Each structure stands twice: as C-alpha cells, then as structure tokens.
Amino acid sequence: MDIAQDLVLRQLHSQGISESLVFKGGTALRKFYAGNAGRFSTDLDFAVSEVGTSAALVTQFICEAIDGFIGRMWAHWRAKSQRSIR
C-alpha cells in the first residue's frame, strides 16, 4: 500500500494537479519526516491550496489521474502476463 501511495502522489505531481493541493495529515508527516519509522496510514489527505479553487473540480482531476494510472498499470500487467504465457 505504501508503494501505491507513492505512485499516486507521483501521478498527481506529473499531471500538475499537486500544484492545486496541499498534502496534509499523518501520511504527509510520515512520508516527509518519519519515513518507514512512522505510523502507517492508508489515506491521503489533501486541501485545495487557494481560496476559490473548486474542491469538486480538483476531486474530479484526482479521480481522472488515478483512473488513468490504474488503466496504465492494468495494461502493463496484461502485456507482461501474456508474454509469460507464450
């Protein structure tokens, strides 16, 4: 799960969505300061970074980024599994 969080954060950053967000909460503290020594949490907490930013729009962008990431991972896995069958 920790690796999945890292991959989602990387996806949000690569699509520029992270510029509209503030990553906050226990997971942010652990990832930035405590590393593996910190308490593990499964959630990622965000707030919009500027007043007037539409939380609904940012949520839509996050969902689209995650859906795209999952789609690419699924395609990669299928291609890899098909190669191993041959």
Burial class (CB in 10 A: 0-12, 13-18, 19+), 1: exposed
The tens digit of pLDDT for each residue in 48-82 reads 888 887 888 888 888 888 887 787 778 778 887 87
Is 44 in contact with 27 (CB distance < 8 Å)? yes
pTM higher than 0.75, yes or no? no
pLDDT tier at 47, thresholds 50, 70, 90: confident
The share of the chain scoring above pLDDT 70, in percent, equals: 97
